[in-house]
Amino acid sequence: MGCMIMLLNASVTIAYKCSACGAFEFFDNISLFELTYKDDYKYECKCGKSAVLIKKDATRNLIINVPCISCGNSHVFVLSRKALLHNSVNILACPENGMKLCFIGNDEEVRKKIDYFEKELDELINMFGYENYFNNTQVMFDSLNHLHDIAENGELFCECGSKDIEVSLLPDKIHLRCRRCEGSRIISAASNVDLKDILSKREITLANMASNMEIIDCNSFIKSSDMIKK
């Protein structure tokens, strides 16, 4: 009678989005044995301003503390040994808005997930044709993604009641304009502080603020109306 052998990877990769610099930091070839039996682990970003902390509970499950770039808090996740061993990749997301913060699992699968996000970013850049246009491309991309989610939930609208919103992009900000009444709103998107601010929002309302708006060179806009579904 044949014997079936199940092979398990002896190591995992951890990748997390730094809450300070916004970059994904990778830690690979982490021994499963050490990860599940050593008491404490600290995985610090190269910038030195944030770190993922891992402890164990009484049953040797992982207690993972991840600083969140999205809401500014730190979130605690429990990852069972079974999930660690059998899931190709475990994704830890902000409980407030679902932003993916940390990936733990098979090195190849973790990198595929990160590659997918970076591919989306590359496609965005290629579509606009401005490789170095934005002050912080990742912040702009994440801000647009969250704007899209808000619009999908019907929470992006003008005081006049219209949801027909035009989106234009500048290097450091997003300009929202109502096509019905010209109501508008400017959203900064140049730093991780700006990103934290927009990620904290559940709805965005435009107001007719023409008399108070800053002067903007409209010729420098990138139009991206189709990116926000109405």
pLDDT in tens, 85-97: 889 999 998 887 7
Give the model confidence (pLDDT) of 121-167 as tens digits: 566 656 655 556 778 877 888 888 888 888 888 889 998 888 888 88
- Pick out the chain residues at pLDDT < 50: 1-2, 4-7, 210-230
The pLDDT value recorded for residue 68 is 86
Locate 191 and state its tokens.
């730093």
Do residues 25 and 18 lie in contact, with contact meaning Cβ atoms separated by under 8 Å?
yes
The pLDDT value recorded for residue 59 is 84
Do residues 182 and 164 lie in contact, with contact meaning Cβ atoms separated by under 8 Å?
no
Distance, in Å, from the CA atom of 15 to the CA atom of 26, rounded to the nearest integer, reads 4
Mean residue pLDDT of the chain comes to: 78
Distance, in Å, from the CA atom of 77 to the CA atom of 66, rounded to the nearest integer, reads 8
Q: Could you count the other beta carbons within 10 Å of the beta carbon of residue 103? A: 24
The pLDDT value recorded for residue 89 is 92
The pLDDT value recorded for residue 130 is 54
